[in-house]
Structure 1
Amino acid sequence: MEAASLCTMATCVLNQWSMDFAGNKRRILSSIIEAKRLGASYRLGPELEISGYGCSDHFYEGDTFLHSWQVLRDLLIDPATRDIVCDVGMPASRRVAYNCRVVFLNGQVLLIRPKTRMADDGNYRESRWFSRWTKRGEIDKTFQLPDLIESAIGQSTAPFGDAVLAFRDASLGFETCEEIWTIGSSHIDLFLNGVDIVVNSSGSYHQLRKLNRRVDLISSCTNKAGGLYLYSNLRGCDGERVYYDGSALVAMNGRLVAQSRQFALEEVEVTSATVDLEEIRNYRQANRSHCQQSAEAPALTRIAVPQWRLCRQDVAAACQSTNLPMEPRYHTPEEEIALGPACWLWDYLRRSGQSGYFLPLSGGIDSTATSCLVYSMSVQVFESVQSGCQEVLQDLRRIVRDPQFLPGSPQDICSRLFTTCYMGSENSSSETRQRAEQLAKEIGASHLALRIDA
């Protein structure tokens, strides 16, 4: 293991909020600081993290783009972003609107990389607001940066388009969310062109077993071609009806080497991996079919960054070992059903300004299942508080309007956040009434019973 080929990379899961530019900037900076603490030379963030993914028709408004540039300006001049390659997601316009990644280093923009494939299935409607970049492997070298950026950093233009960043010791290529799911994925050409690392900034919402598919895709592409693949994702509901389920991933040569949690309440989670890039080159050299196809592949546009090494000697000297291959961590389908909607409930509650949930509890299966999801939410909040997460505790105290509140059990939380009511009539049975009372007692909900036909 040569120190010169050891590389530490960081990928993030952030709980961003649409149009919350100040809060989004704070969380981005927090993740950059944590990535630097972990010794990373590069930090990857999720899709549209500056504006929030779910801005919907606010993407038609010029202010959304203006405020995104203002946040980028603040990041560029902040001392915390020095000495690390930062990759952030934001909307940008070049005659038409694009869903972009902005990569910068030490106050200079290296590349603005627009998304090349739009997600328009399921709950996605990206083509409603954005155009895709159709010039594969091409860049506009003279894209004019806004005046507010030029006045802050003295840079007037930046490359805009699809390109590879060629650092002094390794090369970096890009995919954004949907691009890995398509038949003609960008990583195929990137890996055949000898790109060492491909990074993917995503806004992928939770569906049952979707994490399994993500892991399969990422592992498969690095297994066939060799290489390092970093995946970042959003967390939380972002004001929408879907839940973004995190799970940042790092895979190399067909094996997973790092994974963050799928369901959690913390707003910022940074996952790092230290790998030996020489293993990638050895892996590819041993695959003669890959070598032949690589020799025949058309060249991609490369932007030289000779002043920076991804393999840093100070980090390599402090590193005891590289990340070893690991087995993916999956929840059972039943756990996904219990955890995903519960996380959404907490995220929506803490940002809605409301003080809790109310549910007519009939004693039947539908209201019972809903009650169990609220209790699952309470369990996750309690576990986060027990683990020392001050953000969750502060949110909880704000919601219950008690600055000293410290729960001793999930039931304590449920009693303050959840009210159920049995609404009986002459057609109701004593059995359903007893079931409702018993369930409310077991989960700790504040329970009422009344006659609606009285």
Structure 2
Amino acid sequence: MEETRLMLAAAALNQTPMDWDGNLQHIKDAITEAATNNVQLLLLPELCITGYGCEDMFLSPWLSEVAFEKLLQVKEWCDDITVAVGLPVFLDKKVYNTACVIKNKEIVGFTAKQFLANDGVHYEPRWFTPWPANVVQEFEMMGHTYRIGDIIYNEQGVKYAFEICEDAWRPNRPAERHMPKGVQLILNPSASHFALSKTDVRHRLVVEASKRYQCAYVYANLLGNEAGRMIYDGEVLIAQNGKLIRRNELLCFKDVDLECAEVCFSANPKIEDVIEYLPPIDENKEVVAALSLALYDYMRKSRSRGFVLSLSGGADSSLCAVAVAEMVRRGIESLGTVLFVAKMQMFSMKDVAYFDTLPEERLQKELIGRLLTCAYQGTVNSSDNTYNSARGLAESIGAKFYSWTIDEEVRGYVSKIEDVLERPLTWEQDDLTLQNIQARVRAPGIWMLANINNALLMATSNRSEGSVGYTTMDGDTAGGISPIAGIDKAFIRQLLVWMQVELGYEGLQYVNKLQPSAELRPSDEEQTDEKDLMPYEVLNQIERLAFHDRYAPHEVYNILLEQQVAAPDVLQAWVTKFYTLWSRNQWKRERLAPSFHLDDYNIDSRSWLRFPILSGGFHEELAKIRP
């Protein structure tokens, strides 16, 4: 073929399930921006008309019908440009996940996804049917006939085809069939969820494919917190013949993030000998970026007016507070003051104009003060250290801070039960009861503040606590969102130190000097979390081996014993405690507030890990452990 140059583009979109007006506006904005840049072919993300996270609504025929009506609107915006847009298509009582190609206001065809994601957080086979390879057929919709299937398209003499998200992650991927057919361009519309360091894997997947198949490869991912739990980093990649041509900044606060590049196609392309890989990503930077964007989208899409937090002065609640502060800092940096504030839809235009006049440091603190309300709820068992930690952090970031004690309420409940039982409650006999009532009494007051502010109440449980149920139901689990429930405690502790040193949050200096403690027992007992449980590093190792790597209890024990983690009898006690508490507390994990998927796995039964509420408790399996 003669040399052909095409201006290619891909756009990340921040979509919301079934938000028809919002989703279409972002699609229209992307098309308009592409046209302004003289783009000839634009790729948009997977299922971007409906949103990827519609879940069981995909099974309702009307959803696909509405999506097709919206597609016909999108078609009219595609004047003198080719656009690939994602939507579900309902045929013969089956739903297909498709990418539709529109060229100059005409629908050319639909490519249907061939491999469905069915692991981890994915449940695609519940909704969609895989399309067979090399099959193309016709269907009728709204009086017109269209082609659907494994289609090869043509743009000015350049043959191109699709791999839709999961298609590219399989050994017998569609690209294996495309290359012998002369395909020189592969488009990949995706809804690839965020996980720590996953972008490194994705980058390799795209660039190595472009070298192996001697083609240009264009990739477009969704962006932001789309449906509540999953976060999308909005990655856009354009590569050719083993060389990365264009890559965007991930996890931005925009609605549309478009990248374009002119790509040359010829009969004898130069194939890169060595692929230049990206340097390893800093997971601290990455998780902070994901968490802050997720909070912003969750807040505005749920139409909430900020956040309320029971700030204990400990690590978990401190991270939640700083995450809101980072949301403000990063949001302003990404969008500018006016757009960041206006997108929240909670301030008047007068307020927006006022914020735009403020210098940066004052602006951030004033906004945080309007968005985050904190309260320290002390008891006789609370220490001055945690109070000073909570107050110092809140003041340093500008959050609204209240403080009160709950001893009177605790005494009221304790005396009621003592009267009923006709005996006093003692720490020797009623330890758990006396601890839990303190945690539960903290819930009503903080819920009142959330209701008054029309704000989201943040629960502060982390993944390590969730694994063993080291949390009080209707107490510290109270909340509408549990933002850090997908992160383990060891990671959180080092993250807070990093945020103090690298991001300048000096208010964290107090919590970074403290040992994690629930502070529910009398102070002379010097209660700490790790005394109650085990070292967090060990807990996290057991959890990962058990549920990410899927080893049996005795195998977990043997692996840790080989690593000399602890003496055999101590290690047996820790492994037994973990599995016993895990089994006993599945009902708690079922009731935790929605959380974000941040790591490469989580313990949320609604997304990554399902486990029976009632089980045998691993008794037979634990009996195989012999120190």
Same fold (TM over 0.5): yes
Residues 379 and 188 of structure 1: CA distance in aligned 2, closer, same or farther (over 3 Å):
same
CA contact (8 A) 2:11 2:44 kept: yes
Ranked by relative contact order (alpha carbons within 8 Å, sequence separation 6 or more), the top structure is 1
Structure 2 SS opposite 1:379: helix
Q: Which residue of 2 aligns with 1:69?
A: 68
Partner residue of 1:395 out of 304, 327, 343: 343
CA contact (8 A) 2:97 2:113 kept: yes
> Deviations 1:356-393 (Å, cap 9, x if unpaired)?
1111111111111121211111111221343x6x5423
CA distance in 1, matches of 2:201, 2:277: 14
Residues 158 and 281 of structure 1: CA distance in aligned 2, closer, same or farther (over 3 Å):
farther
Shift of 1:281: 3.1
Residues 436 and 118 of structure 1: CA distance in aligned 2, closer, same or farther (over 3 Å):
same
TM-score of the two chains, using structure 2 as the length reference: 0.61
Superposition pairs for residues 203-214 of structure 1, below 5 Å? 203-214=191-202
Q: Which residue of 2 aligns with 1:242?
A: 230
CA contact (8 A) 1:258 1:326 kept: no
Larger radius of gyration: 2
Corresponding pairs, count = 398
Partner residue of 1:283 out of 260, 267, 270: 270
Superposition pairs for residues 215-364 of structure 1, below 5 Å? 215-278=203-266, 281-283=268-270, 328=278, 331-364=281-314
Superposition pairs for residues 97-116 of structure 1, below 5 Å? 97-116=95-114
Q: Which residue of 2 aligns with 1:86?
A: 83
Q: Which residue of 1 aligns with 2:142?
A: 146
Paired residue type of 1:203: A
CA contact (8 A) 1:192 1:225 kept: no
CA contact (8 A) 1:355 1:400 kept: no
Q: Which residue of 1 aligns with 2:122?
A: 124
Larger fraction in strand: 1
Unaligned runs of 5+ in 2: 409-627
CA contact (8 A) 2:78 2:102 kept: no
Shift of 1:12: 0.6
Moved more, 376-385 or 241-250: 376-385
Partner residue of 2:369 out of 402, 410, 415: 415
CA contact (8 A) 2:109 2:147 kept: yes
Shift of 1:98: 0.5
CA distance in 1, matches of 2:323, 2:227: 19
Q: Which residue of 1 aligns with 2:15?
A: 16
Paired residue type of 2:295: L
Paired residue type of 1:144: E
CA distance in 1, matches of 2:256, 2:156: 30
Partner residue of 1:440 out of 372, 391, 394: 394
Unaligned runs of 5+ in 1: 148-155, 288-324
Structure 2 SS opposite 1:103: strand
CA distance in 2, matches of 1:413, 1:205: 29
> Deviations 1:417-449 (Å, cap 9, x if unpaired)?
011110100100111100100000111111111
Paired residue type of 1:108: E
Q: Structure 1 residue runs of 4+, over 3 Å off?
A: 325-331, 400-403
Shift of 1:145: 2.2
CA distance in 1, matches of 2:63, 2:279: 37
Larger fraction in helix: 2
TM-score of the two chains, using structure 1 as the length reference: 0.84
Residues 380 and 330 of structure 1: CA distance in aligned 2, closer, same or farther (over 3 Å):
farther
CA contact (8 A) 1:248 1:271 kept: yes
Residues 373 and 53 of structure 1: CA distance in aligned 2, closer, same or farther (over 3 Å):
same
> Deviations 1:253-302 (Å, cap 9, x if unpaired)?
11110011211111011110112112x73337x99xxxxxxxxxxxxxxx
